[in-house]
Every structure is written in C-alpha cells, then in structure tokens.
C-alpha cells in the first residue's frame, strides 16, 4: 500500500491524474480502463477541492492510497472536509441520455462518469474523514 | 491547456492542447464563445487533448446550444478513442459531427 498526499487545491488535479496514471500503468490496466479511472478520480477530486475545501474556505489535503492485488487496483481518497456522499446525488438515467442536448439536465454527469468509469465505487465516512474508494478489476 | 484560434475560409478553427478539466474548462469556454461569435462554422481540433472531464463536456454542451441557436455548425476533429467512448456513453456523440482530420472536418462544412 502506498500513500501520497496532495494539497486540496485546483492545481493538484493535474498531478493527481498524472500520479494515478502511473499507478494504473504499473498495475497493468489497459488504455481504456486507465483513462476511465482517470475520469473517475478527476471528478471526485474536483468535488472535494471545489466544494469540500474551496467553497467552505478551508485548507487541507487529499490523502491518496493505492493498493494493488492480483485481481484489482484500489485507489482511496481521504479528506477532512465536511461529510459528502457523492453516491447520494441523483444520477441521470437512460431517458436523460436520449433527450436532445438542449433539453438535457446536466447535474450528476460527473458522478455518472465516476460510477461508470470503475468496477466499483464506494463512499464511507470513518473517523471524521470522507473516504472515496475506486476499485478496478484486473483482467487476468 | 492552450487554445489557439485561426480562421480559414470563414471557418473558425480552435486548436486545443492539453487537459480540459475543472481548472481549464472556463478558458476553453471563453475561447469557444469568442470563436462562435465571430463565425457560424466552427471546428474544434481536439487531437492534442488527452483528457476531457465532465466540465469539458459541459462546455461542449454550451457550444452545441449556442451554435444551434444561430443555425451554425460545429465539427470536432481528432477526438481520441477514449474521449469518444465517454461521449458515446453519455449520448453526447450523437449531437456532434466528428472528423478524423482537419481536412475532412473542413470538407464536412462545405
């Protein structure tokens, strides 16, 4: 298990993606799985930074832990911002995606991409910390 | 991210380079709006864009609405396979013309 800490500021998005990209490559994820994981972590990191810290006028960090087994790659984001469960957001459904672009509600797109970008996405609030967990199955 | 604009045969061509995320989407939006306001036909060259988040998709949505309102046309060029898949999963792909190269994109508008 490896831990890396990033300041919870918008400038960190780039470095978080670069870090996760390297981890995904090392874990042997293919290009598509790796890209979709990047989309997922970027969406959640953006939420944490913009709403958890910036809007609340707080300073803090995102602790990123990665763990690789034979079967999966697990990435965990931990932060001390106010509890926020992204899975409780209303998701766009199939019907929304059939709507013409000009009638379409746009909220929830990020969390939709997050959930669809990984094999499993989980949220926990433990010891006063938000934990966002991304799991990508590794095909044998 | 870097955006440069040029005009060829009354077509505004936006060349985007880098990542379009929550940090850079505003700048992309600003450049796109200014291009749309100057020409009714716009090509957005994304061949040097390696990452597009939902913030970038929102800008594409805004571009689509704006162009439609003024009966113009927009073509996306050089969209990576990964970005195309995200656009396809979210239904965005149906609303844009996509061309592999700039030449093909220009032809689509003529």
Of the pLDDT bands very low, low, confident and very high (cuts 50, 70, 90), residue A46 is very high
Residue A89, pLDDT score: 73
Q: How far apart are CA B1 and CA A130, in angstroms?
A: 30
Of the pLDDT bands very low, low, confident and very high (cuts 50, 70, 90), residue A116 is very high
Residue A107, pLDDT score: 60
- Residue numbers in A near B81 (CB within 8 A): 31-32
Residue A106, pLDDT score: 56
Nearest to A13 among B22, B89, B92 (CB): B22
Average pLDDT of chain A is 92
pLDDT at A45 over 70: yes
pLDDT at A4 over 90: yes
Subunit contact A104:B65, Cβ cutoff 8 A:
no
Interface size between A and B, measured as CB pairs under 8 A:
70
Q: Are B52 and B86 in contact (CB under 8 A)?
A: yes
Q: Establish if B92 touches chain A: CB-CB under 8 angstroms.
A: yes
Q: How far apart are CA A99 and CA A134, in angstroms?
A: 29
| DSSP letters for A82-120 | S---GGGSPPP-HHHHHS-GGG---TTHHHHHHHHHSSE
H or E segment and range at residue A47: helix A31-47
CA-nearest residue of chain A to B57? Answer: A109
- Residue numbers in B near A47 (CB within 8 A): none
Nearest to B53 among A43, A99, A101 (CB): A43
CA distance A17 to chain B (A): 10
Q: How far apart are CA B71 and CA A140, in angstroms?
A: 50
Residue A74, pLDDT score: 98
Model pLDDT for residues B39-95, shown as the tens digit of each residue? 999 999 999 999 999 999 999 999 998 998 999 999 999 999 999 999 999 888 988
Residue B109, pLDDT score: 93
Of the pLDDT bands very low, low, confident and very high (cuts 50, 70, 90), residue A105 is low
Task: Quote the ipTM score.
Answer: 0.92
Where is average pLDDT lowest: A84-98, A105-119, B4-18? A84-98
Residue A1, pLDDT score: 87
Estimate to the nearest angstrom the gap between the alpha carbon of A18 and the chain centroid. Answer: 14
Q: Establish if B66 touches chain A: CB-CB under 8 angstroms.
A: no
CA distance B65 to chain A (A): 6
Q: Establish if B68 touches chain A: CB-CB under 8 angstroms.
A: yes
Residue A139, pLDDT score: 80
Q: Answer left, alpha or beta for residue A95, where phi above 0 means left and psi between -120 and 50 means alpha.
A: alpha
Q: Establish if B70 touches chain A: CB-CB under 8 angstroms.
A: no
């Amino acid at each position: 298990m490896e831990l890396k800490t990033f300041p919870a500021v918008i400038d960190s998005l780039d470095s978080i993606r670069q870090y996760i990209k390297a981890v995904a490559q090392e874990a042997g994820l293919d290009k598509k799985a790796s890209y979709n994981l990047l989309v997922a972590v970027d969406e959640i990191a953006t939420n944490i930074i913009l709403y958890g810290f910036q809007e609340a006028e707080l300073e803090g960090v995102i602790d990123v832990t990665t763990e690789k087994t034979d079967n999966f790659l697990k990435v965990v984001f931990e932060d001390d911002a106010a509890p926020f469960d992204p899975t409780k957001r209303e998701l766009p459904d199939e019907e929304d995606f059939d709507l013409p672009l000009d009638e379409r509600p746009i909220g929830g797109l990020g969390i939709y991409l997050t959930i669809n970008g990984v094999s499993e996405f989980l949220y926990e609030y433990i010891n006063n910390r938000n934990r966002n967990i991304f799991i990508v199955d590794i095909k044998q | 991210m870097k955006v440069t604009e040029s005009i060829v045969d009354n077509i505004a061509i936006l060349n985007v380079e880098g990542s379009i995320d929550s940090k850079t989407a505003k700048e992309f939006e600003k450049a796109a709006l200014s291009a749309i306001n100057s020409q009714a036909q716009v090509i957005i060259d994304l061949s040097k864009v390696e990452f597009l988040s939902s913030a970038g998709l929102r800008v594409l949505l805004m571009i689509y609405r704006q162009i439609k309102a003024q009966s113009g046309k927009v073509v996306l060029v050089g969209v990576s396979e990964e970005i195309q898949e995200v656009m396809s999963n979210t239904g965005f792909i149906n609303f844009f013309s996509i061309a592999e190269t700039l030449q093909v994109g220009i032809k689509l508008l003529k």
